[in-house]
Structures are given as structure tokens and as C-alpha cells.
């Protein structure tokens, strides 16, 4: 994960305490970052057709660029101007990023509207977020109270990542999920509250309802125990060792069929 400079004012990875002799280099670096952001959108969004379209029609990029300025003001102890600029950005783009948040390089906020990133949130490089994502806190405590999202993470629309937790590198958060605990690297989590369904490319099967961390887990456990007891009384056959094998085989066959038809079928990518 990219390190942020503690010397001078952190400007989303840059340092804004620039001496006059370094002014030209700083400006070139700034435009280099803008070019890098646009290129990353072109690579990740099939709907992006030209640089001009990305520059004019992607409010998620505008929000990131406005944040870089407000974050510099925040680091320079100009807290009120920083907050005012962030509120202007919120009104203009629909994205609410606190000036204190640390954002890495090539952050892509697709569709933008309704995204909230809290004051102590840290977002790594090459992260993708969709509309409605919240990186929020869970209480009124001070200090680090918002999530840390590591490099290469994908967060689906309307997902909520709450509290001082970490989402590991290259992980994926499903749409509508509520993440309340750490996510290991290279994992996929879904649900309310979120639980792991894939890790390092392998399906994670939940056999213990406690792993779901749902308020109804105890009721599900009691129900499962009661069903097992009734089956024993009736002499029913025991459950197979892998109850999800048939479901996984069906899903695999479906994916193979989709891959075969990929040349002929559009799945609406980029919508």
C-alpha cells in the first residue's frame, strides 16, 4: 500500500510544501496524476470511449481531484476552507469525501452518487468503488474510526464498510454488503453482515451458522439441531458430506456456458 508523506502537507500522495525551484516539477507531477487517473478509468470502464468523455462526464474523478486540494488545505491547518471546498465538491459531484481522508493513486469512483468517505479512512491505490458506498464509523469515538481499504480492492454499489477495520489487498465487497470486521487479502465477502464466500480463488463453504455472524444464528443452530434429531427418529438418510456440491457443479457449468457464448452475448458491461 502506498505510503503517504509526513513531510509537508500530504496532497493525496504529493507534498505541497514546494520551494519555488520545485514549482514546475510539482505542476508536472499534478498533471501527470490527472493523466494517470484518466488512463485508469479508460482501462477499467468499458463505457469510457475517449479521454475527453472521461474528463467531462465522470464526476467520480472530479471528486477525487477536488479532494486533493481540500486535503492539502486540511494538512495546512486551514480546516474551515478545506471543509467548505469538500462541501462544494459534494454538491457538485454527489460524493462526500472528508478532507482528512487519505486517498491513494488511481481511485475510480464509478457513477459516484452517494459515496461517503470518512475523516480517518485510508484508501489504497487502484481501488474501485461504485455508487452508494460508505466508508464510515460506528460510533462517536475519536482517533482512527474509519476503514482502511488496501490496494486493488473492489467495492460494489451500496456497500457499507464500517469501523476501524481493514479490507485486504485485491478483495471484493459485494453490492449491498455491510462489512463490520476485517477482510483477508484476496477474498470476496457478501451479506449483512458480510461473510467470506471466496478466498484465494477457492469457494468457502459455511458449515457453522456462527460463521455468518447473523443475529439469527442461534435460532438457525437450534432449528438445525431439531431437524437432525427428527431425522434420527425417522431413520432418514444422513446428509451428504458436501451439501453444496450439486449447487457448485451447476454454477460451474453455467460459467462454462457463459464463457462459450461470450463472443455472441453482451452482458451490459459498463452500465
Tens-digit pLDDT profile for residues 65-100:
999 999 999 999 999 999 999 999 999 999 999 999
Pick 109 or 9 by higher pLDDT.
Answer: 109
Is 0.75 topped by the overall pTM?
Answer: no
pLDDT score for 220: 75
pLDDT score for 16: 40
pLDDT score for 229: 84
DSSP code string of 23-37: HHHHHHHHHHHHHHH
pLDDT score for 47: 87
pLDDT score for 59: 92
Average pLDDT over residues 101-118: 92
Which residues, at least 6 apart from 176, have a Cβ–Cβ distance to it below 8 Å?
156, 157, 158, 159, 192
pLDDT score for 173: 94
Average pLDDT over residues 199-220: 73
Burial of 148 (0-12, 13-18, 19+ CB in 10 A): buried
Q: How confident is the model at residue 12 (pLDDT cuts 50, 70, 90)?
A: very low
pLDDT score for 269: 46
Average pLDDT over residues 48-56: 89
* Average pLDDT for the chain: 81
Buried/exposed 17-37: b ≥16 CB within 10 Å, e otherwise = ebeeeeeeeeeebeeebeeeb
CA distance 116 to 87: 12
CA 123 to chain CA centroid, nearest Å: 9
The string of pLDDT tens digits covering residues 113-155 is 999 999 999 999 999 999 999 999 887 778 899 999 999 999 9
Question: By percentage, how much of the chain surpasses pLDDT 70?
Answer: 79
CA 157, 171, 179: angle at the middle one, nearest 5?
55
Amino acid at each position: 500500500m502506498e505510503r503517504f508523506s509526513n513531510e509537508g502537507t500530504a496532497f493525496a500522495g504529493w507534498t505541497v510544501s514546494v520551494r519555488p525551484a520545485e514549482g514546475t516539477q510539482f505542476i508536472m507531477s499534478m498533471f501527470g496524476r490527472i493523466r494517470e487517473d484518466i488512463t485508469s478509468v479508460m482501462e477499467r470502464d468499458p463505457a469510457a470511449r475517449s479521454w475527453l468523455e472521461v474528463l467531462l462526464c465522470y464526476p467520480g474523478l472530479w471528486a477525487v481531484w477536488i479532494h486533493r486540494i481540500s486535503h492539502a488545505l486540511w494538512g495546512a491547518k486551514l480546516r474551515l476552507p478545506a471543509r467548505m471546498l469538500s462541501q462544494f465538491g459534494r454538491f457538485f459531484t454527489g460524493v462526500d469525501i472528508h478532507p482528512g481522508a487519505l486517498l491513494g493513486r488511481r481511485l475510480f469512483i464509478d457513477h459516484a452518487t452517494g459515496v461517503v468517505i470518512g475523516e480517518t479512512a485510508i484508501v489504497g491505490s487502484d481501488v474501485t468503488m461504485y455508487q452508494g458506498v460508505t466508508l464510515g464509523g460506528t460510533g462517536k469515538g475519536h482517533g482512527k474510526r474509519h476503514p482502511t481499504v488496501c490496494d486493488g480492492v473492489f467495492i460494489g454499489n451500496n456497500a457499507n464498510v464500517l469501523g476501524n477495520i481493514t479490507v485486504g489487498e485485491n478483495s471484493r465487497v459485494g453490492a449491498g454488503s455491510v462489512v463490520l470486521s476485517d477482510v483477508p487479502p484476496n477474498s470476496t465477502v457478501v451479506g449483512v453482515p458480510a461473510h467470506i464466500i471466496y478466498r484465494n480463488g477457492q469457494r468457502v463453504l459455511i458449515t457453522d451458522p456462527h460463521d455468518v455472524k447473523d443475529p439469527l444464528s442461534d435460532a438457525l443452530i437450534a432449528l438445525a439441531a431439531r431437524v437432525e434429531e427428527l431425522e434420527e427418529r425417522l431413520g432418514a438418510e444422513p446428509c451428504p458430506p458436501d451439501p453444496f456440491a450439486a449447487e457448485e457443479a451447476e454454477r460451474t457449468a453455467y460459467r462454462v456456458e457463459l464463457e462459450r457464448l461470450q463472443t455472441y452475448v453482451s452482458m451490459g458491461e459498463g452500465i
